[in-house]
Structure 1
Amino acid sequence: MKKFSFVAVAVMVAVVVLVASEAQMAEAATCNPTELSPCLSSMTSGSPPSAACCSKLKEQKPCLCGYLKNPNMKQYVNSPTARKVVSSCGVPYPQC
């Protein structure tokens, strides 16, 4: 009976590990710069960011280094206005 319990626990641990790795992969796949569209007006005009903008910035926080490394995105994410928006939303500017 102990052997059966050990096998059952091992299988359950393996399932948990697989589910956790799938969740991380799904989370990593959500980097999409168009998700930051609520921030566009703030990043271009310098107006205070909306709640929707800050929410999206917080969701996209793990993606910011990738955006900074992308030559097409860097000019927008690295601008002084964008830095101000990120700071206003309480999101630490990434140190990549």
Structure 2
Amino acid sequence: MKMKMKRVSFVALCVVVVVFSGEIGTTEAVTCDPTQLSPCSQAFTSSAAPSPACCSKLKEQQPCLCGYIKNPSLKQYVNNPNAKRVASSCKVPYPKC
């Protein structure tokens, strides 16, 4: 009976490892670098439409947006109506920080 219990525990552990290893493999780390949003600078500061490069970078930097909003030197660029419009145009949800 103990051997059967150990085998079941081992199989369950293997299943958990396989499931979580798949999760870990699909997660990519994002380096938060506001200069990556330079293709959006014109759209952020005017009524210009965002370029495809801007939308791509905005999607990449999406996990970083709250940090940018909380940074006093970046807040004016990221937390304004134009930035919200750009995010909407690029189909990037504007963060609620």
Q: Which has the larger radius of gyration?
A: 2
2-structure distance, mates of 1:63, 1:91: 12
Partner of 2:36: 35
| Larger helix share, 1 or 2 | 1
Partner of 1:50: 51
Q: Which one-letter code corresponds to 2:71 in the other structure? A: N
Q: Which one-letter code corresponds to 2:75 in the other structure? A: K
1-structure distance, mates of 2:44, 2:62: 16
Q: Which one-letter code corresponds to 2:46 in the other structure? A: S
Question: How many residues are treated as equivalent by the alignment?
Answer: 94
Give secondary structure in 1 for the equivalent of 2:74: helix
Per the normalisation by structure 1, the TM-score is 0.73
Does residue 85 (structure 1) correspond to residue 86 (structure 2)? The answer is yes
2-structure distance, mates of 1:76, 1:37: 11
- Aligned-CA RMSD value: 2.6
Per the normalisation by structure 2, the TM-score is 0.72
2-structure distance, mates of 1:66, 1:45: 23
Q: Which one-letter code corresponds to 2:38 in the other structure? A: S
